[in-house]
Structure 1
Amino acid sequence: MLLLPAALVAVLLLSGLWALQQWRAPTPPDAPAIEVEIPRGASLARAAALLEDAGAVSDARLFRLMTRLFGGGRAIQHGVYEVRPGEGWGAILARMQRGDTLTVRVTIPEGMPSIMVAERLNAMERLEGMVETPAEGSILPATYEAKVGESRAAVMARMQKAMDAELDRLWERRTARAVVKTKEEAVILASIVEKESGLASERRRIAGLYTNRLRAGMRLEADPTVIYPVTRGKPLGRRIRLSELRADNGYNSYRRAGLPIGPIANPGRESLAAVLDPEPNDYLFMVADGSGGHAFARTYAEHQANVARWRAFRAEKGI
């Protein structure tokens, strides 16, 4: 029977303990974070070498050996990873196997027009490629996470898929009060409600008002529909001109009854839900009231009185 020298046994034992320590937590808690990019299709050997080059592991060969012993045989995924202070090799490997890569966040607020969605995405750092302006109303406003190095086109596709899914879900819950006949009409009307809603609490009320006007064959007379063909949804920055109010371009709801030819923004969940289940009311008119909301009226005479109060408010404030 071959007996190993005591010194060799001690060396092997100490090496094993050191390797185990590396696997558990080799870096001190105050060490700086390290970013490592693992390319698509990289082998374990390539990934280990990149980790060693970045200073995330001290010995690529030992990392590979420990991975084979304790890694469970799962493949690593490509992406940009952050090695955090106090993190051991085992934790690094586990995140690479899960694909827990670095991410960035992009927020699309309710009512943002598609031209500004594309601008925001294209301005995001650490994403790849550029995108064109998507179809108006095809994006669901929300906050989205994207992996560092992911394509902007893939992120936009997720936003559009989210809108399709949410619209399908809400469409199944529509009530008999809804005047819209198709999902496309729902998005169009919801986009107008979104742009007119200064207060979230008014969404269903405004949806009810517009539902009443559509049922009565009245024009919606919504200012945002006048602005959209001029700026593609961006802020106008001035008063609407008389020529713009008179323009017959398919969007201007002062010129024709019914819905515009398309959405004027990307409506959020609440505005979509509002037009599919509008408040049951008999309002036909509204005007700003100076509080961020609106004064609602059932008759034109009531509306004229509200308009007079609004004009007096503006004059008092020097607007």
Structure 2
Amino acid sequence: MKRIAAAGAAFVAALAAYAAWTVTRPYAAFTGAANVDIPKRTGTRQIARLLVAHGVLRDPFPFLLLKAVRPSARLQAGEYRFTRPASPAEVFDRIARGDVHFHEFTVPEGSNIFDVIRIVSKLGFISENEIRSAVHDPGPIRDLAPSAASLEGYLYPSTYRVTRQTTARQITRMMTDQFRKVWAKLDRRLPVHEAVTLASLVEKETGLASERPLVASVYRNRLRLGIRLECDPTTIYAALLEGRYRGAIYRSDLASEHPYNTYRHAGLPPGPIASPGEASLRAALDPPASEFVFFVAKGDGSGGHRFSTTLAQHTAAVAEYRRGRQIKQARALP
């Protein structure tokens, strides 16, 4: 009897040792990388089969064994990325923790809703139609900007991390929430829609941080004096909205009666034309005092502009810009 008991104990010990070995041994045959998408309400057996099918585990038994000895562990839905051999225990723990794979996307300052649609749809799990519908729903900022027709200007430029389960509307909510955080810490001297609209013009006009306050001062001065803004980016945006932008501004664009064309309509356009960053928002809210009412690109490759207080100064600056372009074109000829 003692021998039988001893044999039984030895067998149990051997079985336990084998179980411990099989659940802690990395699957050496795994190579490359694998993304495993576990839908909601997927059972343990199906999860194990998915892991085997993707080459993460050799067979389902060790994974099922772990669930049997840890029945309270909740295996969570999501996308999991594996890039090295892992033991069944490591795989099980990751899924129990919900250590899902995150996808990153970056929306640069000055991006408009067309850019956001393109950037987000490139993630591969949100369609263009889904994100297009979301960015055209102003619901997330209705309390801030009741007159907003879309989320243009309020999709704050930054880097975001999302999972495969994140929806298009959750993404736009994340982006507008980030806008709220930035807006809350600013000296809010203008109504939000007016400030964001002006800041979006500043953002699109110059890429130089040092120039943003000056550009904002030019527009504030022109608004105060009743001079049309004649902002090229608004004309481009009008063409984009009508689906007729051809990569350059034509006379027909300048003559367009579209509400966003500030060559034809005085005052600010009906809304933002892009997502401004914090620096442009600050410039729009508190521009420096100046008498500048004109500016034109230097055309020297610096990205800078010449600012003028009179039409005569501006005309001379425009002539210099055109001469510079002609010289460059002549040098480019064979």
Question: In structure 2, what is the Cα distance between the partners aligned to 1:192 and 1:114?
Answer: 15
**Corresponding residue of 2:318:** 307
The alignment status of 1:217 with 2:226, answered yes or no, reads yes
Structure 1's 217 and 279: CA in aligned 2 closer, same or farther, altered over 3 A? same
Ranges in structure 1 where 5+ consecutive residues have no aligned partner: none
5 Å matches for 1:1-319?
4=4, 8-28=8-28, 31-69=31-69, 73-127=72-126, 130-131=129-130, 132=132, 134=135, 135=150, 136-148=152-164, 150=165, 154-167=167-180, 169-174=182-187, 178=189, 181-232=190-241, 236-241=246-251, 243-290=252-299, 291-318=302-329
Structure 1's 203 and 317: CA in aligned 2 closer, same or farther, altered over 3 A? same
Structure 1's 35 and 166: CA in aligned 2 closer, same or farther, altered over 3 A? closer
Confirm or deny: 8 A CA contact 1:107 1:143 kept in the other structure. yes
Instruction: Please report the TM-score for the alignment, with normalisation by the length of structure 2.
Output: 0.79
Confirm or deny: 8 A CA contact 2:295 2:307 kept in the other structure. yes
Amino acid at match of 2:303: G
Structure 1's 6 and 282: CA in aligned 2 closer, same or farther, altered over 3 A? farther
Report the more deviating stretch, 110-119 or 62-71: 62-71
Alignment length, in residue pairs?
Answer: 310
- Residue 263 of structure 2 aligns to a residue in which SS? coil
Ranges in structure 2 where 5+ consecutive residues have no aligned partner: 136-149
Report the alpha carbon displacement of residue 171 of structure 1 after superposing the two structures with TM. Answer: 4.7
Report the alpha carbon displacement of residue 274 of structure 1 after superposing the two structures with TM. Answer: 2.6
Report the alpha carbon displacement of residue 236 of structure 1 after superposing the two structures with TM. Answer: 3.8
Structure 1's 32 and 98: CA in aligned 2 closer, same or farther, altered over 3 A? same
**Corresponding residue of 2:140:** none
Structure 1's 83 and 127: CA in aligned 2 closer, same or farther, altered over 3 A? same
